[in-house]
Chain A
């Protein structure tokens, strides 16, 4: 059970690689988990083919939500926006390498929720 606080998670929590802001950005979105107060903002930049070239996040929260965000951003650099739209819960759990109960799952999935809201939002604007 102590696996939840594996070295890799504590490491990404304490020394995140992608903490920061991108201004201007192509995709930006923020959201929170009202149950525990985790708050995350994610900024992305993409090239002309909609491939992510830069990513950054800001916010506060528990070790799980923050590490999950950092790992997620690391994993999407070089990915096309369309691929990101298809990412799922299991992709996040694979990144973290742990199993989570229903409460902590919300912490881990917050960055995915933010990023999906961000990319779908932009897509919607494009269509409009």
Chain B
């Protein structure tokens, strides 16, 4: 696969940040850039067949419905779901996780029941459970993260003796880049009688994910981190579990029948999709998946593994710079680091002078940063459109930071 031609298909990557300073985009873990094909697909919908879906019988409504439902099928195939109806469209990963906490967990968990999370979670997989803990008095337990950036599975096995009802964890860390051994974690949870929710926000865009092979019960992910638009995400669920769950939001489209004082829920997946959805975004999501399939997730993973190896070895050569997380075999092309005691905001600002976009802060994982004793880190994250030149520019920029602070 010729990765060097991919960059040209992303309009924003041609942008100059200032005259003569081109963009080096290293913030894909926050959101990915979009290829022209995705942008076009969304404009096409508005220009040619804009209509509401599932109701109208006119030509535009039929075209819009079939494009939107076609996207659902593409997304189901992409993660190897059995049926398109196992894919519920949401706004994003966060909403998908909230759906499980507010529908499945609220129904199935009682006071004192145990929920297992990990110490590396994004706030989106912490706060919904904290809210549930306040409401239902369930007990939250956390799989510890070791200083090497990996989960402590021995401690996990001990926690499983508490007979948890659900285990919810991130497949790939947005800070450390760690790719957790999902299949093993899921298998152990199932043996203990728990169901499993996987936060796939960072994994689904970067590595092949097969829900049947993993045997995961629920998988949450977002379009915008995988070349698609913002405002749409997905929740995969095993049909038997989704069927038993009560609806999440009420309104149009999620009903089969409504009387003044009662309603009957629609069939899956519409039961969980109240109101007019993000139609253009859904269609764009489908085209993003086509784009990734065209390149091949195995190729993308291989490309990023090479980048991760080079990135880590180059960064480790800079005196005073410390990268957090495991060695490259266990992680994606993400590096969160500290640089002497220079504040990450200052690092990000100086890199921006040279058009290099990185993220500074706690990356929505405050407890993880606290564990490592850090208020914040700087994060460079890569995707299929990045190459070795981008690593060169980052390293050069970091030497400039060093010079500015005279250390």
Contact = CB atoms under 8 A, between A and B. Distances in A.
B264 to A, nearest CB: 43
Contacts of B344: 36, 62
Contacts, number: 41
A20 interface: no
Interface residues of B, number: 16
Contact of A37 (B346, B349, B361): B361
Contacts of A36: 343-345, 360-361, 376
Nearest to A9: B346
A46 to B, nearest CB: 31
Nearest to A66: B343
B11 interface: no
Contact of B376 (A2, A37, A104): A37
Interface in B274-313: none
Contacts of B375: 37, 39, 60-61
Nearest to A60: B375
B360 A1 contact: no
A64 interface: yes
A5 B346 contact: yes
B396 to A, nearest CB: 15
Contacts of A63: 343, 345-346
Contacts of A1: 18, 353
Contact of B345 (A2, A10, A39, A64): A64
Interface string B340-377: 00011110011001000000111000000100000110
B372 to A, nearest CB: 13
B404 interface: yes
A107 B343 CA distance: 12
Nearest to B21: A1
A36 B360 CA distance: 7
A5 B346 CA distance: 9
A65 to B, nearest CB: 8
Given A36-B344, A36-B345, A64-B346, A10 B18 contact: no
B349 A4 contact: yes
Given A36-B376, A37-B375, A37-B376, A107 B345 contact: yes
A2 B361 CA distance: 21
Contacts of B345: 36, 38, 61-64, 104, 107
B18 to A, nearest CB: 7
Interface string B9-30: 0000000001000000000000
A10 B350 CA distance: 13
A107 B18 CA distance: 24
A93 B374 CA distance: 29
A36 B18 CA distance: 25
Interface string B373-407: 00110000000000000000000000000001100
Contact of A10 (B349, B369, B376, B405): B405
Interface string A1-35: 11011000010000000000000000000000001
Contact of B343 (A2, A35, A62): A62
A10 B179 CA distance: 39
Nearest to B360: A36
B122 to A, nearest CB: 15
Contacts of B343: 36, 61-63
Q: When A and B form their complex, which 6 residue pairs have the shortest distance between CB atoms, in order from nearest?
A: A62-B343, A62-B345, A37-B375, A37-B376, A63-B346, A62-B346
Given A1-B353, A36-B343, 12 more contacts: A2-B404, A5-B350, A5-B404, A35-B361, A36-B361, A36-B376, A37-B369, A38-B345, A63-B343, A64-B345, A104-B349, A107-B345
Interface of B: 18, 343-346, 349-350, 353, 360-362, 369, 375-376, 404-405
30 contacts: A1-B18, A1-B353, A2-B353, A2-B404, A4-B349, A5-B404, A10-B404, A10-B405, A35-B361, A36-B343, A36-B344, A36-B361, A36-B376, A37-B361, A37-B362, A37-B369, A37-B375, A37-B376, A38-B345, A60-B375, A61-B343, A61-B345, A62-B344, A63-B345, A63-B346, A64-B345, A64-B346, A104-B345, A104-B349, A107-B345
